[in-house]
Amino acid sequence: MNNKFKGTGVALVTPFDENERIDFEALEKLVNHVSDGGVDYLVVMGTTAESPTLSEAERVEVLRFVKSKNKKKLPVVYGLGGNSTGTLVRQFQNFDEYVDAFLVVCPYYNRPGQEGLIAHYRAVADAAKQPIILYNVPKRTGVNLDTDSVLELAEHPNIIGIKEASGTHVEQAKQIAERMPEDFILTSGDDDLIIPFMEAGGHGVISVIANGQPKETSDVIRAMLAGNMEEAQEENSKIVELLSLIFMEGNPTGIKALLAAKGIIKNYLRLPLVPASDELYRLIEAAEKKI
């Protein structure tokens, strides 16, 4: 198994200043915060990073900066996806920055069928110089990469796992876990489903809340990996109220409010996203103080 991706990955936000420029000072604070909090690897340019609003040059600049501030030398996963297979293949062929793996979301908007999804991922995996982690998130892409497709793609030597976020249940994760290769990584994309997801056979999470609460999130994962359900539930209870709040007005709206309340970043997003309402900010601030 690719053990470097077993455990807690954190989908890093991109801090901005009041002029919507990348706030690299805050980004360094965030990288130190999550690293000291015990996460196992860093995910750069996932959905939580507001990656659609960043230029290609900005995305690479953030990657280089995170790598330069990665004092614990944690594995780095880079999000690189799109809905044009040809364009994406060329990006992978020309991508010279070293990363430990790529997180590749299903093509969005054009809604390909399963055969199209499989062909898309095979073309990308053939072109990529580092391993691919599939990312299935139907609520954002409009398509679901189904179990049979995942298992077929798992046979490709350069596809090593999946971030599975197919909904409010873990049935698909169970189906994948029952039939996936022994060395395939099955990780959750839903913070609120960590415990049932790992009970179903998952290996960890790529987390949003770990930006703000890296220790508590990592403690839940480590307890589950050790088979200690009681400890996992106890640790999860510390963040359950925050989990109920940070997605109320979308992601990364809530997690940026939490990080601002903790003094790690400023509470700025790029349009079309806007900061949390005053009411939600107050609720998140109050919940954070209870931990």
Q: What sections of 181-228 are H helices per DSSP? A: 194-199, 214-225
H or E segment and range at residue 164: strand 159-164
Please answer whether residues 173 and 164 qualify as being in contact, where contact means their C-beta atoms are separated by less than 8 angstroms. Answer: yes
The percent of the chain in helix, strand and coil, each rounded to the nearest 5, is 50, 15, 40
Residue 106 C-alpha from the chain's centroid: 14
Q: Answer yes or no: 69 catalytic.
A: no
Exposed (0-12), middle (13-18) or buried (19+): which is 17, by Cβ within 10 Å? middle
Q: How far apart are the C-alpha atoms of 138 and 142, rounded to whole Å?
A: 5
Exposed (0-12), middle (13-18) or buried (19+): which is 4, by Cβ within 10 Å? middle
Q: Which of 121, 135, 268, 281 is catalytic?
A: 135
The response to whether 291 counts as a known ligand-binding position is: no
Q: Is 96 left (phi over 0), alpha (psi -120 to 50) or beta?
A: alpha
Please answer whether residues 9 and 207 qualify as being in contact, where contact means their C-beta atoms are separated by less than 8 angstroms. Answer: yes
Q: Which of 6, 29, 163, 215 is catalytic?
A: 163
The response to whether 48 counts as a known ligand-binding position is: yes
Q: Answer yes or no: 163 catalytic.
A: yes
Please answer whether residues 111 and 143 qualify as being in contact, where contact means their C-beta atoms are separated by less than 8 angstroms. Answer: yes
For 161, the 3-state DSSP assignment is strand
Q: What sections of 12-135 are H helices per DSSP? A: 24-36, 56-68, 85-93, 114-127
Kindly list the catalytic residues: 135, 163
Point out the annotated binding site for pyruvate: 48, 206
